[in-house]
């Protein structure tokens, strides 16, 4: 039986979150820039927590990456 160390699983999960967030952000930004819709999901999620549009992007990206 092949056992994978827990540290390897944790690091792979972290990298999957970072790569997934980056890919989703590129796709949503391209939708926003094309004019089809306002798809700035990171800013929308961040503004739920900060209540300010100016500081919401960084919080939104962090929340997306962690989740």
- pLDDT, tens digit (0-9, with 9 covering 90-100), for 7-46: 999 999 889 988 988 998 899 889 989 988 888 888 888 9
What's the pLDDT score for residue 19? 92
The separation between CA 48 and the C-alpha centre of its own chain, rounded to angstroms, equals: 15
Question: Domain for residue 47, yes or no?
Answer: yes
Question: Domain for residue 14, yes or no?
Answer: no
What's the pLDDT score for residue 61? 87
* Strand locations in the chain (E): none
- pLDDT > 80? residue 67: no
List all residues 6 or more positions away from 28 whose beta carbon is below 8 Å from its beta carbon.
39, 40, 41, 42
What's the pLDDT score for residue 26? 92
Is residue 46 a contact partner of residue 59, using CB atoms and an 8 Å limit? yes
Question: Domain for residue 46, yes or no?
Answer: yes
What's the pLDDT score for residue 1? 60
Domain coverage including residue 55: 37-67
Number of separate domains in the chain: 1
Question: Domain for residue 21, yes or no?
Answer: no
């Amino acid at each position: 039986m092949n056992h994978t160390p827990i540290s390897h699983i944790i690091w792979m999960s972290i990298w999957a979150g970072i790569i997934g967030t980056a890919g989703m952000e590129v796709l949503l930004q391209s939708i926003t820039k094309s004019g089809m819709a306002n798809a700035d999901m990171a800013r929308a999620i961040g503004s739920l927590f900060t209540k300010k549009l100016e500081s919401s992007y960084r919080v939104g990206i962090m929340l997306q990456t962690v989740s």
